[in-house]
A and B are shown apart, each in its own frame.
Chain A
């Protein structure tokens, strides 16, 4: 078989029946269903994150409220409980704001009249911005909240508290932080690093032959 020239291939491409209107057209109902299901899917994705954050908040506040009410007579315990509560409020508000910016506003802004290059740049900027914020957020929140958690646990359940069991407290702190870091790294790799690498690879393609 002799290969056609590229001009011939281009003509064949244009004349190929698959290029003509052979696909089943959409009617109102089908398109509506697609849009509804996609909207639901995207909303579910956003809400999944929202419910996760909300569940964590409820858990933290319920636990700390219980500690404050039951053991609040002790000043150190009271302050540790309040510090734990205050720590989560502003950071979670900021986290949700950033997430909303990335997940909810993205489709409406992102895909109209932009070149492929601009679109990929915008996608990367949004993802990178959220990821950078998330890393800073976790860097601050994880050691602080773990520290408060370990302090309260030892204060309430281990005779002598952290003062008399510093090694145990440090080991507990380190194990807890290590567990959290490991699970966060896995999540970050899947949800942020890999997608960012893909977007960077695409942008590299644009610069390859400039």
Chain B
């Protein structure tokens, strides 16, 4: 089974590995969950690779498989008992090296507050996928993707402004 892993598959996976890592970062805050789901993604990609017919780009297909896996992944029961992190917990993180990094970190944190489907949509949008590709991956119509994106951007802006204000208040 595993001996038949094709070189081209490994090359493609490595070339697009950032996709799996970003999806993990957006969907999971716990490091163990991230590791576990990353392995599950690799397994699902391997299992599904034979049915990949090349009609879509490898990266689009990889987004699809990784998102399917992340969205339906079931956390280990005991971890769900922990309270989610609050804004004040974020202060424990090492300070980012620049304003840009800080904004990107905030963007990741803001995305993490969205419902599952909206996380997927904004992630695909930020990755510069077209509405058509987002529609192909999610199963939503193109117009619905557009409508949702407007609302998601507003939600993210609100969330990020809240975080910026909180950071400013803390630093005063």
Where the two chains meet, the residues of A that have a C-beta atom closer than 8 Å to any C-beta of B are 1, 3-4, 6, 9-10, 12-14, 16, 18-23, 25-28, 31-32, 34-39, 107-108, 110-120, 123, 190, 195, 198-199, 202, 205-206, 209-210
B90 lies within 8 A of chain A by Cβ? no
B168 lies within 8 A of chain A by Cβ? yes
A3 CA / B153 CA spacing, docked (Å): 13
Apart from A3-B157, A21-B18: 12 A-B pairs, beta carbons within 8 A? A1-B164, A9-B126, A13-B126, A23-B21, A27-B10, A35-B42, A107-B44, A110-B68, A113-B51, A120-B71, A123-B72, A206-B139
**Contact between A6 and B117, CB atoms less than 8 A apart:** no
In the bound complex, residues from chain A placing their C-beta under 8 Å from that of B68 are: 110-111, 114, 116, 119-120
**Contact between B151 and A18, CB atoms less than 8 A apart:** no
Contact of A32 among B5, B157, B160 (CB under 8 A): B5
In the bound complex, residues from chain A placing their C-beta under 8 Å from that of B126 are: 9-10, 13-14
A26 CA / B160 CA spacing, docked (Å): 35
Closest 7 CB pairs of A and B: A117-B139, A115-B139, A112-B51, A38-B43, A25-B14, A112-B48, A32-B2
**Contact between B1 and A35, CB atoms less than 8 A apart:** yes
Known: A12-B103, A209-B147. A111 touches B44 (CB 8 A): yes
A123 CA / B44 CA spacing, docked (Å): 14
Known: A12-B103, A18-B18. A202 touches B117 (CB 8 A): yes
Report the number of A-B residue pairs with Cβ-Cβ less than 8 Å: 154
Contact of A113 among B53, B140, B160 (CB under 8 A): B53
**Contact between A116 and B117, CB atoms less than 8 A apart:** yes
Question: Which applies to chain B's interface (DSSP): helix, strand, loop or mixed?
Answer: helix
B40 lies within 8 A of chain A by Cβ? yes
In the bound complex, residues from chain B placing their C-beta under 8 Å from that of A113 are: 48, 51-53, 61, 64
**Contact between A32 and B3, CB atoms less than 8 A apart:** yes
**Contact between B103 and A4, CB atoms less than 8 A apart:** yes
Q: How far is the CB of B91 from chain A (nearest CB, A)?
A: 15
In the bound complex, residues from chain A placing their C-beta under 8 Å from that of B18 are: 18-23
**Contact between A31 and B5, CB atoms less than 8 A apart:** yes
Q: How far is the CB of A92 from chain B (nearest CB, A)?
A: 26
In the bound complex, residues from chain B placing their C-beta under 8 Å from that of A26 are: 10, 13-14, 17, 42
A32 CA / B43 CA spacing, docked (Å): 10
Where the two chains meet, the residues of B that have a C-beta atom closer than 8 Å to any C-beta of A are 1-3, 5, 10, 13-15, 17-18, 21-22, 39-40, 42-44, 46-48, 51-53, 61, 64-65, 67-69, 71-72, 74, 77, 99-104, 107, 115-118, 120, 125-128, 136-140, 144, 147-148, 151, 153, 156-157, 160-161, 164, 167-168
In the bound complex, residues from chain A placing their C-beta under 8 Å from that of B3 are: 32
**Contact between A1 and B168, CB atoms less than 8 A apart:** yes
In the bound complex, residues from chain A placing their C-beta under 8 Å from that of B48 are: 111-113
**Contact between A38 and B40, CB atoms less than 8 A apart:** yes
Smallest CB-CB separation from B136: which chain A residue?
A115
In the bound complex, residues from chain B placing their C-beta under 8 Å from that of A25 are: 14, 17
Smallest CB-CB separation from A10: which chain B residue?
B126
**Contact between A1 and B99, CB atoms less than 8 A apart:** yes
Known: A36-B2, A38-B39, A206-B117. A115 touches B64 (CB 8 A): yes
**Contact between B138 and A117, CB atoms less than 8 A apart:** yes
Smallest CB-CB separation from A113: which chain B residue?
B51
Known: A117-B139, A120-B72. A210 touches B43 (CB 8 A): no
**Contact between A39 and B1, CB atoms less than 8 A apart:** yes
**Contact between B144 and A210, CB atoms less than 8 A apart:** yes
In the bound complex, residues from chain B placing their C-beta under 8 Å from that of A34 are: 39, 42-43
